[in-house]
Homo-oligomer: A and B are copies of this chain.
Amino acid sequence: MGIIRHTKSVKSLIQAFNESENAISVAVLLKRFKEDMNKTTVYRILDRMEESGVLHSFIGKDGDRWYSKYTENTSASSTISHPHFQCDSCGKSECLTLDINIPPLPNHKVDSASLLLIGQCQDCLIEITQ
């Protein structure tokens, strides 16, 4: 097990997540850093950052992977896993602090959950009503 070095590429990714309130998809990250670093590097840094607990990832509505930093509210708590919301109009994904209760499931052991709510985000709702 190695130490994560604070390289130029790593700094760029950290900055991207610090500047973003919401989650960022791998596709967006690859495009954003196309000129700055190799795609392999992006994948590998995301792996390391998740493994080290700086980021967490989840699967979006279309099966694509999204990453987001942890905050006080979204950290792995007593809950199985915090839910996410993805907007059907703009595609944006957010971490939710919403507490979703999972009823007991007979004959199964539930260890975690991937809970994604899909609909219209605040910005897109405003656009619709205007």
Q: Which A residues are closer than 8 A to B by beta carbons?
A: 59, 61-65, 85, 88, 96, 98-103, 105, 107-122, 125
Q: Compute how far the CA of A122 lies from the CA of B85 in the bound complex, rounded to whole angstroms.
A: 30
In the complex with contacts A85-B108, A108-B125, A113-B103 CB distance below 8 A: no
Assess whether A117 is in contact with B125, with CB atoms less than 8 Å apart: no
Taking the full assembly, how many copies of this chain does it contain?
2
Which residues of the other chain, B, contact A102 by a CB distance below 8 angstroms? 98, 100, 117
How long is the Cα–Cα vector from A111 to B115 in the complex, in angstroms?
14
Contact A88 B108 (CB under 8 A): no
Instruction: For the complex formed, measure the closest distance between the CB of A120 and the CB atoms of chain B, giving whole angstroms.
Output: 4
Complex Cα–Cα for A96 and B107 (A): 12
What are 24 A-B contacts with C-beta separation under 8 Å? A59-B59, A59-B61, A59-B62, A63-B63, A63-B64, A63-B65, A85-B110, A96-B105, A100-B102, A105-B117, A108-B117, A108-B119, A108-B122, A109-B119, A109-B120, A110-B117, A110-B118, A111-B118, A111-B120, A112-B117, A112-B118, A113-B115, A114-B118, A115-B115
